Amino acid sequence: MSSIPHDHAPGHDGHHHPTGLMRWITTTNHKDIGTLYLWFSFAMFMVGGVMALTIRAELFQPGLQVVDPEFFNSMTTLHGLIMVFGAIMPAAVGFANWMIPMLIGAPDMAFARMNNWSFWLLPPAAILLVTSLFVPGGAAAAGWTLYPPLTIQGGMGMDLTIFAVHIMGASSIMGSINIVTTILNLRAPGMTLMKMPLFCWTWLITAYLLIAVMPVLAGAVTMLLTDRHFGTSFFNAAGGGDPVLFQHVFWFFGHPEVYIIILPAFGIVSQIIPTFARKPLFGYASMVYATAGIAILSFIVWAHHMFTVGMPTAGVLFFMYATALIAVPTGVKIFNWLATMWRGSMTFEAPMMFAVGFLFLFTMGGFTGLVLSIAPIDMQLHDTYYVVAHFHYVMVAGSLFAFFGGIYYWLPKWTGTMYDEKVAQLHFWASLITFNVAFFPQHFLGLAGMPRRIPDYAQQFADWNMLSSIGAFGFGFSQLIFLYAVVKCVRGNGAKAPARPWEGGDTLEWTLPSPAPYHTFETPPVVK
Amino acid sequence: MAPAPSRNDDGRVRAANVRTALALASIAAVFFGGVIAAKFMGGWTTGMGVVGFAVLLFLGFAIGRNLWRGRR
């Protein structure tokens, strides 16, 4: 047997590799690049988190206390963009880089140099986004959805945001091409598609989604750019353009984007639950088909974000029923995870705690999504805090909790050191409680009619807002516990991790020593 | 069970990697160009036309390539 061929830089095969800063700049190793992605996303999570806390500080009491309304709008815009494009998506790609080659028995990603490029495009994009705060006119303030006409009128900060979105989109497309090619062409002998761990399946489908929808967003913001500077009128009503068309194009990207964010999280949870239930995943094939079903349906539901914009009744009905239909494959997944746990010999280490927390909270976010899919109710709740609560239950308690679980699950393999279980459990409980204190009251605020993206509010919303802000600060500071747990593990302060720290772990990565060697599976394993 | 790849497969797998990447990149290019063309030339029919043409092009290419390889 020989090595599986893949693109790599000279010297990559040798055991010698650069050290210090050059190692990280020039690396083509999937594990190094995965580490870069994960640290970058954590840094962006902190930056976006500070913006969230600025928003919550302003909303602690009615009236204007901390920032002026224009800056508040910039904060909501950049918080959304940074969390989606800078924190959650790169974290998912970080997991993909670290784990996909090890889960399918490949030596590296198919295009190792392009992998390096995919990552190193992100820091300049993040710098563009953050520095847009300091240019004349301030940062983009039209919300992360970038709706015209406000985005046609904005200052230079808007141009920087458009370029940042272009760069991040290019990075995502390159990363996705790499992931699909790796999974399709570099699997170990015997690793058929239907034997792949579910994390690989969810990423394969996510990568296809990304390849299809990121160019659509790129096209939309390109048209915005030409409207702003080159005299076109795609979305400029004054020139005969149609601002509503931007919303259609944006949400054709935006709704699949929700699944791009959540499907890798589904994959991680599908790895964790069988391991700690000590049972195979219930209904593997149905999980694969459900994932594909969710991805396909995600292309035909975009206009449920636009019920209040106005569309024919037939259109409203179509998008309403299509949206409700997504509950079916999603329900298949939830019940399969529950069935996997049923009568399992379960233990509740930190990864499993986060997976169970994910199950509980994501289901709540899913249910409020179903509520919002009903057009007459959505007309009432559109652009209220109910929507804010809904998508934070999906994105934070969904994706982020799964990512925390995934990090605790694979940290022993990445670092060779067991994380501190007590600290991790503290992180879980602190995050769970403070998250719910922050976001559950927002349902009540939304139902009572409090609009989103407003720095001031009426007196009757004061109590729940104060509670929400206390919870948000608690959630933010809880993440310092996470940072402590990870740094402690990375520095080797803890028990040495065995090759297979989890009794129920039966995928390929657990056949490797801990920490995983710099080069793995140069000789492909044979999967039976 | 698939056989383990041999040294002779190296070039073949690399070529397959490049082919896969090009096919995926062309999908991205169609979506990028399609969304702008649809708006520039007006209306959803242009959009459907671009996507339909692209799907036919991909199909024609895939079938043609298969037939050509079959003849060899």
Per-residue pLDDT of A247-272, as tens digits, reads 999 999 999 999 999 999 999 999 99
The pLDDT confidence band at residue B72, using thresholds 50, 70 and 90, is: low
Give the chain B residue nearest A250 (alpha carbons): B35
Q: Which of A109, A177, A214 to mutate to test the interface with B (most CBs of B within 10 A)?
A: A177
On the question of pLDDT at A245 being above 60, the answer is yes
- CB–CB of B39/A223 below 8 Å? yes
The candidate with the shortest Cα–Cα distance to A218, out of A177, A175, A250, is: A250
Phi-psi group of A450: left, alpha or beta (phi > 0 → left; psi -120 to 50 → alpha; rest → beta)? beta
Q: Which residue has the higher pLDDT, A156 or A9?
A: A156
**What is the ipTM metric for this complex?**
0.81
- The per-residue pLDDT for range A291-318, each reduced to its tens digit, is 999 999 999 999 999 999 988 999 999 9
| pLDDT greater than 60 at residue A48 | yes
* Residues of chain A numbered 248-277 and touching chain B (CB < 8 Å): 249
User: What pLDDT does residue B44 have?
Assistant: 65
Identify the band that residue A153 occupies on the pLDDT scale cut at 50, 70 and 90: confident
Q: For residue A238, what are the CA distances in angstroms to A83, A157, A241, A243, B35?
A: 33, 22, 7, 10, 21
Give how far A173 is from chain B: nearest CA, Å.
8
Partnered with residue A496 across adjacent β-strands are A417
**Do the chains contact at A7 and B14, CB–CB below 8 Å?**
yes
Q: B5-64 pLDDT, tens per residue? A: 444 467 888 899 998 999 889 888 888 888 888 777 766 677 667 777 777 777 788 788
**Among candidates A140, A118, A137, A116, which has minimal Cα distance to A128?**
A140
Residues of A in contact with B31 (CB under 8 A): 211-213, 215-216, 219
- In the annotation, is A349 catalytic? no
Radius of gyration of chain A (CA): 23
| Residues in chain A closer than 8 A to B34 (CB atoms) | 219
Residue A113 in any domain: the answer is: yes
Mark whether A305 is an active-site residue: yes
Under DSSP, the state recorded for A281 is P
Contact between B39 and A223 using a beta-carbon 8 Å cutoff: yes
Q: Is residue A13 part of a domain?
A: yes
- Mean pLDDT across chain A, nearest whole number? 93
Considering only the beta carbons, identify the residue of B3, B7, B24 that sits closest to A211.
B24
Give the pLDDT band (50/70/90) at residue A15: low
CB A123 within 8 A of CB A40: yes
Q: Is residue A96 part of a domain?
A: yes
d(Cα A170, Cα A10) in Å, to the nearest integer?
25
Closest CA to A261 of A172, A182, A331: A172
* A401, part of any domain: no
pLDDT at A6: 52
CA nearest B42 in A: which residue? Answer: A234
Burial of A158-172, coded b for 16+ CB within 10 Å and e otherwise, reads: bbbbbbbbbbbbbbb
A255 is catalytic: yes
Using only C-alpha atoms, chain B has a radius of gyration, in whole angstroms, of: 17
The CA distance from B62 to A279, in Å, is 42
Helix, strand or coil, per DSSP, at residue A455: coil
For residue A437, what are the contacts with CB-CB under 8 A and spacing of at least 6?
Answer: A467, A468, A470, A471, A474, A475
Q: Is residue A324 part of a domain?
A: no
With contact defined as beta carbons under 8 Å apart, do A179 and A97 qualify?
Answer: no
The confidence score (pLDDT) of residue B43 equals 65
Q: Establish if A219 touches chain B: CB-CB under 8 angstroms.
A: yes
Contact A215 B29 (CB under 8 A): yes
Confidence category of residue A280, pLDDT binned at 50, 70, 90:
very high
Model pLDDT for residues A424-451, shown as the tens digit of each residue: 999 999 999 999 999 999 999 999 999 9
Closest CA–CA distance from residue B2 to any residue of chain A (Å) = 5
Cα distance between residue A8 and residue A109, in whole Å: 9
**pLDDT at B62 (0 to 100):** 74
> Which one, of A418, A408, A407, A414, lies nearest residue A516 by Cα?
A414
As a whole number of angstroms, the distance between CA A354 and CA B23 comes to 38
Q: Is the pLDDT of residue B3 over 50?
A: no
Average the pLDDT over each of A146-150, A166-170, A203-207, B48-52 and give the range with the smallest value.
Answer: B48-52
How many of the other CB atoms lie within 10 Å of CB of A114?
17
Q: Give the range among A15-19, A55-59, A172-176, A266-270 with minimum mean pLDDT.
A: A15-19
Is residue A413 one of the residues assigned to a domain?
no
**Interchain contact, B40 vs A234, CB within 8 Å:** yes
Give B-chain residues touching A218 at CB under 8 angstroms: 32
Which region, left, alpha or beta, applies to residue B42 given φ > 0 means left and ψ of -120 to 50 means alpha?
A: left
What is the average pLDDT across A186-201? 95
In chain A, how many domains are there? Answer: 1
pLDDT over 90 at A483, yes or no: yes
Residue % of chain A over a pLDDT of 70: 97
A330 as an active site residue: the answer is yes
pLDDT band per the 50, 70, 90 thresholds, residue A513 = very high
Residue A102 clears pLDDT 80, i.e. is over it? yes
Per DSSP, what are the bridge partners of residue A384? A451
Which tokens sit at A359? 């199950």
A284 contacts: CB under 8 Å, gap ≥ 6: A194, A198
Please report whether residue A67 resides in a domain: yes
- pLDDT for A201 beyond 60: yes
What whole-number distance in Å separates Cα of residue A209 and Cα of residue B26?
Answer: 14
Rounded distance, CA A462 to CA A468, Å?
A: 10
Closest CA to B27 of A257, A210, A299, A212: A212
Q: What does the pLDDT read at residue B58?
A: 79
What is the per-residue pLDDT across A453-481, written as a single tens digit (0 to 9) for each?
A: 999 999 999 999 999 999 999 999 999 99
**Number of inter-chain CB pairs under 8 A, A vs B:** 94
Which residues, listed in sequence order, are joined to residue A451 by a DSSP beta bridge?
A384
Is the pLDDT score of A12 beyond 70? Answer: no
**In whole angstroms, how far apart are CA A523 and each of A5, A10, A427, B4, B18?**
10, 19, 39, 9, 22
Domain enclosing residue A134, as ranges: 1-185+498-528
Type of residue found at A189: P
Rounded Cα–Cα distance for residues A466 and B65 (Å): 65
Among residues A27, A41, A118, A172, the one annotated as catalytic is A172
- Cis geometry, peptide bond prior to residue A10 (ω within 30 degrees of 0): no
Give the mutation candidate from A216, A244, A257, A523 for the B interface (greatest B CB count, under 10 A).
Answer: A216
Question: pLDDT (tens digit, 9 = 90+) per residue, A374-409?
Answer: 999 999 999 999 999 999 999 999 999 999 999 999
Q: What is the pLDDT of residue B10?
A: 79
**What local confidence, expressed as pLDDT, does residue B4 receive?**
46
The position carrying tokens 């982020």 is A400
Percent of chain A, pLDDT > 90? 90
In total, chain B counts a number of residues equal to 72
CA-closest candidate to residue A253, choices A220, A294, A216: A216
Residue A178 within a domain:
yes
d(CA A388, CA A446): 8
The answer to whether A216 contacts chain B (CB < 8 Å) is yes
Nearest 5°: the CA angle A520, A522, A524 is 100
Instruction: Give chain A positions within 8 Å (CB) of B33.
Output: 219
Nearest to A167 by CA among A76, A90, A113: A90
Kindly report the CATH number assigned to the domain that includes residue A512: 1.20.210.10
CA distance B17 to chain A (A): 6
Find residues 228-247 of chain A whose CB sits inside 8 Å of chain B.
234, 245
Interface of B with A (CB under 8 A): 1-7, 9-11, 13-14, 16-17, 20-21, 24-25, 27-36, 39-40
Nearest CB among B11, B28, B39 relative to A211 is that of: B28
Name residue A7's beta-bridge partners: A111
Instruction: Quote the CA–CA distance of A239 and A152 in Å, as a whole number.
Output: 12
Alpha helices by DSSP H, A14-137: 20-26, 30-58, 69-81, 89-104, 112-120, 122-131
